[in-house]
Amino acid sequence: MSGPERTVGTQGLVFEEPLIFEQGSPGRVGFSLPPCDVPQKKAETLIPPHLLRGEIPGLPEVSEGEVVRHYTRISQWNFGIDLGFYPLGSCTMKYNPRVNEDVARLPGFAKAHPYLPDELAQGALQLLWELEQYLAEVSGLDRVSLHPSAGAHGELTGVMMIRAYHQSKGDPRRKIIIPESAHGTNPASSALCGYQVVPIKSGPLGVVEPQAVAEAMDDEVAAIMLTNPNTLGLFEEHIAEIAEIVHRKGGQVYCDGANLNAIMGVTRPGDWGVDVIHVNLHKTFSQPHGGGGPGAGPVAVRKHLAPFMPVPTVEKTQTGFALDSDRPQSIGRVRSFAASFGVMVRSYAYIRSLGPDGLKLASETAVLNANYIMNRLKADYHLPYDRVCKHECVFSDAEQLKNDVKTLDIAKRLMDYGFHPPTIYFPLIVPGALMIEPTETESKETLDQFIAAMKAIAREAKEQPDLVRAAPHKPRVGRMDETRAARQPVLRWKPKG
């Protein structure tokens, strides 16, 4: 609907909002500037012509009120953790306490310039140093680089340190072992560092078997990369034995710590024999994430890998704290400045607020919630691995496929019940996967509502499959043509005519 016949509201005060490019009229402006009190010059006289951009055709001419209403209205279409349950498996989308936001906004932190000399940034440097000590304790390792900006960036940094370590010994090696239950970025990080990926399959219980590692392990293997708990939500129970197998042949053990929210305060990766682990602060330690960031993926290492950490590192001196770039074996910089500082402040506040007992309780509650959902739903949905899980449980659409209802249909129908869908079709080793991670955030009442919705959809799949296949019915926009969106994306708006 367009033109005069278009109505503002779609359902009461739920607004239908056109593109900003379709609003306004010629000559309308959203600002008012005072008269200029200095001589004016044309840009062409100050900037070389080849650096000047011409007029941008089709930009909307709108008032301030129109701009504010437009972006406020479309912001109301977003779904976030402040609105409801966000059960995305593998992502750990949990509520982040507002006190941590308040701490990150303290002027001394928020306005600290990254180029401040060390003597004027002692508070910030002390926070970074203390956060490193906390993360080293949680991980059971010796040093932590706070530089990486995300989990995948942490992986890359960790693999670069492993490569530098082997090269320093005159034994560069060329292969990395990666189980099929690992995160998908693991093989990408390995390939970027020039390694050949050696995949191994999980055993019948959904975890890596030591024998499979022993068969793949040789003198050319630089490391194994394990996600623990893995993407099935299962703890890799043979991890200590696997580490011993890899170490006997001179390899390193890398643990993807994206799922640390299930084990922090309960067990430590360093105690299993892990040499390197990255930690997603934006998943486990309070940092709102989604929409591209910001994030942080610090990397913890054993002392034999510490010389290869990115520069600068934060060191404690006799007079305070300082940034140290004099590290001859370092892999160099992996980003500008020292860290995603605002993320560090939030995570520091989170750890200090909860303390060791609070971190452990968060993990235990997350595991309890996941097992509660798993046991309540396994009579309605196929459960490929019916055993105690950790932070998440993975179902499939095998039962619903009997009525031609697929995982995507179930996810779309959940929207009608007021729930954001879980992660779907991942991990790839479970066809039609439904991956649900409740975290410690959610109450039993919320979990019961979600479970009731999932059970209702399972009944509908048997009794009214057409209803489920046509979902969603209640959101502002119905079922989209996702195939066309993927193959023919519209990335640039073109003015009519």
pLDDT digits (tens, 9 = 90+) for 199-216: 999 999 999 999 999 999
Question: Do residues 323 and 394 share a domain?
Answer: no
Question: Do residues 300 and 160 share a domain?
Answer: yes
**Is 12 within a domain?**
no
> Average pLDDT of 342-358?
96
Q: What pLDDT is stored for residue 78 in this prediction? A: 84
Q: What mean pLDDT is reported for the chain?
A: 93
pLDDT, tens digit, for every residue of 399-434? 999 999 999 999 999 999 999 999 999 998 999 999
- Domain boundary pick from 324, 353, 382: 353
Q: Is residue 55's pLDDT more than 90?
A: no
Question: Do residues 68 and 110 share a domain?
Answer: no
pLDDT band at 11 (very low <50, low <70, confident <90, very high): low
pLDDT band at 293 (very low <50, low <70, confident <90, very high): low
Q: What pLDDT is stored for residue 288 in this prediction? A: 78
**What HEC string does the chain produce?**
CCHHHCCCEEECCEECCCCHHHCCCCCCCCCCCCCCCCCCCCHHHCCCHHHCCCCCCCCCCCCHHHHHHHHHHHHCCCCCCCCCCCCECCCCCCCCCHHHHHHHCCHHHHCCCCCCCHHHCHHHHHHHHHHHHHHHHHHCCCEEECCCCCHHHHHHHHHHHHHHHHHHCCCCCCEEEEECCCCCHHHHHHHHCCCEEEEECCCCCCCCCHHHHHHHCCCCEEEEEEECCCCCCCCCCCHHHHHHHHHHCCCEEEEEECCHHHCCCCCCHHHHCCCEEEECHHHHCCCCCCCCCCCCCCEEECHHHHHHCCCCEEEECCCCEEEECCCCCCCCCCCCCCCCHHHHHHHHHHHHHHHHHHHHHHHHHHHHHHHHHHHHHCCCCECCCCCCCCCCEEEECCCHHHHCCCHHHHHHHHHHCCCCCCEECCCCCCCCEEEECCCCCCCHHHHHHHHHHHHHHHHHHHHCHHHHHCCCCCCCCCCCCHHHHHHCCCCCCCCCC
**Is 118 within a domain?**
yes
pLDDT, tens digit, for every residue of 136-157? 999 999 999 999 999 999 999 9
**Is 48 within a domain?**
yes
Question: Do residues 31 and 128 share a domain?
Answer: no
Question: Do residues 104 and 182 share a domain?
Answer: yes
Q: What pLDDT is stored for residue 475 in this prediction? A: 87
Residue numbers of the domain that contains 25: 17-75
Q: Alpha-carbon distance 286 to 348, whole Å?
A: 9
**Between 481 and 309, the higher pLDDT residue:** 309
Question: Do residues 321 and 384 share a domain?
Answer: no
Question: Do residues 159 and 105 share a domain?
Answer: yes
Q: Which residue has the tokens 């670069």?
A: 160
Q: Alpha-carbon distance 428 to 272, whole Å?
A: 27
Question: Do residues 157 and 242 share a domain?
Answer: yes
**Is 214 within a domain?**
yes
**Which CATH number covers residue 419?**
3.90.1150.10
**Which CATH number covers residue 231?**
3.40.640.10
**Is 248 within a domain?**
yes
Q: Is residue 490's pLDDT more than 60?
A: yes
Question: Do residues 170 and 287 share a domain?
Answer: yes
**Is 116 within a domain?**
yes
pLDDT band at 120 (very low <50, low <70, confident <90, very high): very high
Question: Do residues 111 and 26 share a domain?
Answer: no
Share of the chain above pLDDT 90, in %: 78
pLDDT, tens digit, for every residue of 383-392? 999 999 999 9
Question: Do residues 103 and 180 share a domain?
Answer: yes
Q: What pLDDT is stored for residue 295 in this prediction? A: 86
- Domain boundary pick from 330, 353, 376: 353
Q: Is residue 1's pLDDT more than 50?
A: no
The total domain count for the chain is 3
**Is 209 within a domain?**
yes
Q: Alpha-carbon distance 309 to 303, whole Å?
A: 10
> Average pLDDT of 156-162?
98
> Average pLDDT of 341-362?
96
**Is 466 within a domain?**
yes
Question: Do residues 240 and 375 share a domain?
Answer: no
Other CB atoms closer than 10 Å to residue 150's CB: what's the count?
21
- Domain boundary pick from 353, 382, 401: 353
> Are the C-beta atoms of 183 and 90 separated by less than 8 Å?
yes
